Amino acid sequence: MRITSETSTDGVREQLFTLGDVPGVLWTPDGSTGPRPLILMGHGGGRHKKDPEILARAHRFAADGGFAVAAVDVPAHGDRPKVPAYDRLVAENRARVAAGEELAPLIARFQALVSARTVPEWRAVLDALQRLDHVGPGPVGYWGVSLGCGLGVPFVAAEPRVRAAVLGLGGALASAGEAAGITVPVTFLLQWDDERVPRDQGLALFDALGSAEKTLHAHPGGHDALRPHEPDSSLAFFTRHLTHA
Amino acid sequence: MRITSETSTDGVREQLFTLGDVPGVLWTPDGSTGPRPLILMGHGGGRHKKDPEILARAHRFAADGGFAVAAVDVPAHGDRPKVPAYDRLVAENRARVAAGEELAPLIARFQALVSARTVPEWRAVLDALQRLDHVGPGPVGYWGVSLGCGLGVPFVAAEPRVRAAVLGLGGALASAGEAAGITVPVTFLLQWDDERVPRDQGLALFDALGSAEKTLHAHPGGHDALRPHEPDSSLAFFTRHLTHA
């Protein structure tokens, strides 16, 4: 792992890094030393590791919760090169939607393809980050909605270091089987009028989660309209499950 | 309104009162003077104004939020006399369930009968409480689940002083029409494995709420297993909507 830059904004240190060909970013409270719980965040489709949605929450988690927070670019996103196989599938999916097919199963198919790469990448990123003095081998949380949920479900199911996850804006078609393998506490965010994920598919993914402790938070509005109070509740959730462990 | 006793526990003053034949209880922070937002709480079926579920939340709202909190016995509950018409309906409902009828529509029918009395009673209780110096004419919140939701929906729809409500463990059969008339922010609590309210009925009641700002919080578990963290989120919700008004 190579740290390529370090800056500080509003009490939060931001370190850009690369691990092999994976570009990432790590946020920690300014001046922090010693181990602390780590939250890995997965960005949405077409977005990137420093998307405003990620950045605002990461700052909140680091500044107000004392967490280390990291995000990496998903293949074909952010600073990473295009992946011809993804482009072909996206083009094919567009044509199918234009021809009247449902969007949700096509999203699911795309996410399954991408997660075959991201699950091992993210596990390697955890390995590397946890060797840093100001991260260390503590408990890990995961936050990801939309594509970050589609990729997050197989990751959380596969990675025993993850002790709590915020997921959402995803449907059961993508990952009901893997969801059943998740047993850690989950907060699941659902937009009641989601135009990309049919409501029954979102409810079915929440239902499929194997976790004994899981909470569904649903709000009116479309796929891109998560509520301003959501970061408060995510911060309280991670604090409960990662810092009292 | 006649105040019949006053005690104090853990920093919270408890005043028992009667308004006509309605027995009630008012909790306020010890030593409080001057106006403050009021939260009216509606208890569950077969329970009463000082049920442990009510008492714990009322103390939390008063001690940690500075609210005035009140609850009254529903007719035929707590210190109030039996109501023969209710008993007849309950007995009839039991027989119908034994004969294989669904429970939910019968609960809905019972709640409609009771709310015809509680809506005017609760409005009169607000009038009386708001004349007290340590309550005053501020904004009002409502908290009620199960029977407290069935009676709360028509109350919140009818009472313009209510500016925010926590409802839940109720179904659309009881009150979808009145729910559409509610426009204030609502947090709706749903138990994913509720054995008394079918899941689709609970989701349909959330869907029916006319409020632009509404949140569904769903957790695994049966009707009587509300989560320990729920009071935290209700307190934050009332603080946001009643004290920043």
CATH number at residue A158: 3.40.50.1820
Is pLDDT above 70 for B209? yes
DSSP string, A87-148: HHHHHHHHHHHHTT--HHHHHHHHHHHHHHHHHHHHHHHHHHHTTSTTT-S--EEEEEETHH
Residue identified by tokens 């035929």 is B76
Q: Kindly state the DSSP code that residue B211 receives in the 8-state scheme.
A: -
Q: What is residue B134's predicted lDDT score, i.e. its pLDDT?
A: 96
A22: its two tokens: 């994976």
Q: Nearest Cα to A206, choosing from B104, B220, B134, B90?
A: B220
Other Cβ atoms within 10 Å of B64 Cβ, number: 14
Q: Could you tell me which residues come within 8 angstroms of residue A17 by beta carbon, excluding any fewer than 6 positions away?
A: A1, A2, A3, A4, A23, A24, A25, A26, A128
Across the interface, of B216, B220, B240, the residue whose CB is closest to A218 is B216
Q: Residue B229 has what pLDDT?
A: 73
Which one-letter amino acid corresponds to residue A100? Answer: G
Which chain B residues are Cβ-neighbours of A209 within 8 angstroms?
Answer: none
CA distances A119 to A75, A114, B142, Å, are 11, 9, 45
The rounded distance, in Å, linking the Cα atoms of A135 and A143 is 17
Residue B99 structure tokens: 């004969």
CB atoms within 10 A of CB B150: 30
Of A207, A217, A220, the CB nearest to B212: A220
Please name the member of A212, A219, A236 whose beta carbon is closest to the beta carbon of B215.
A219
Contact A212 B220 (CB under 8 A): yes
Which residues in chain A (154-193) have CB-CB distances under 8 A to chain B? 190, 192
Residue to mutate among A189, A215, A239, with most B CBs inside 10 A, is A215
Q: Does B89 touch chain A (CB under 8 A)?
A: no
pLDDT for residue A90: 87
pLDDT at B105: 84
Q: How many domains does chain A have?
A: 1
Q: Does B19 touch chain A (CB under 8 A)?
A: no
- Does residue A219 sit at the B interface (CB-CB below 8 Å)? yes
Q: Cβ of A90 under 8 Å from any chain B Cβ?
A: no
Task: Show residues of chain A in contact with B216, CB under 8 Å.
Answer: 190, 192, 216-219
* Min Cα separation A162/chain B (Å): 21
Cα–Cα distance measured from residue B214 to residue B209, given in angstroms and rounded to the nearest whole number: 8
Give the distance from CA A166 to its chain's centroid: 8
CA B199 to chain CA centroid, Å, is 20
Q: Could you read off the pLDDT of B9-56 as tens digits, one per residue?
A: 999 999 999 999 999 999 999 999 999 999 999 999 999 999 998 999
Q: Which two tokens stand for residue A44?
A: 């949405």
Rounded distance between C-alpha atoms, residue B107 and residue B194, angstroms = 14
pLDDT at A141: 98
Q: In B4-40, which positions are buried (b, 16+ CB within 10 angstroms) versus exposed (e)?
A: eeeeeeeebbbbbbebeebbbbbbbbeebeeebbbbb
Helices first, then strands: H and E counts in chain B: 8, 9
Nearest CB partner across the interface for A215, out of B207, B213, B217: B217
Residue B3: name the closest of B19, B13, B29 by CA: B19
Mean pLDDT of chain A: 94
Q: How many CB atoms lie within 10 A of CB B137?
A: 11
Three-class SS state of B113: helix
Torsion, Cα A191 A193 A197 A201, to 10 degrees, reads 80
Mutate to test the interface with B, among A186, A199, A233, A240 (most CBs of B within 10 A): A233
Listed as ranges, residues in chain A with pLDDT below 50 are 245
Percent of chain B surpassing pLDDT 90 = 84
Domain that holds residue A155: 2-243
Amino acid present at B29? P
Q: Do A216 and B214 touch (CB under 8 A)?
A: no
Separation in Å, CA of A172 to nearest CA in chain B: 16
Mutant choice from B189, B201, B209, B229 vs A, greatest count of A C-beta within 10 A: B229
The pLDDT value recorded for residue A211 is: 97
**Which pLDDT value is given to residue A230?**
79
B228 touches chain A (CB under 8 A): no
Hey, how many other C-beta atoms are within 10 angstroms of the C-beta on B225? 11
* Helix, strand or coil, per DSSP, at residue A237: helix
Q: Is A5 exposed, middle or buried (0-12, 13-18, 19+ CB in 10 A)?
A: exposed
Q: Is some CB atom of chain B closer than 8 A to the CB atom of A85?
A: no
Token pair of B68 as six digits: 């005035």
User: Strand, coil or helix: what is A40?
Assistant: strand
For A125, B74, B83, the CA distances from B149, given in Å and listed in that order, are 47, 13, 20
Task: State pLDDT tens for residues B39-51.
Answer: 999 999 999 999 9
pLDDT of the residue at B215? 95
pLDDT digits (tens, 9 = 90+) for B61-87: 999 999 999 999 999 999 999 999 999
Task: Say whether A215 and B216 touch across the interface (CB within 8 A).
Answer: no
d(CA B40, CA B33): 19
Q: Return the residue matching tokens 């995510």.
A: A234
Name the residue of chain A whose CA is nearest to B217's CA: A217
Distance CA B57, CA B65 (A): 11
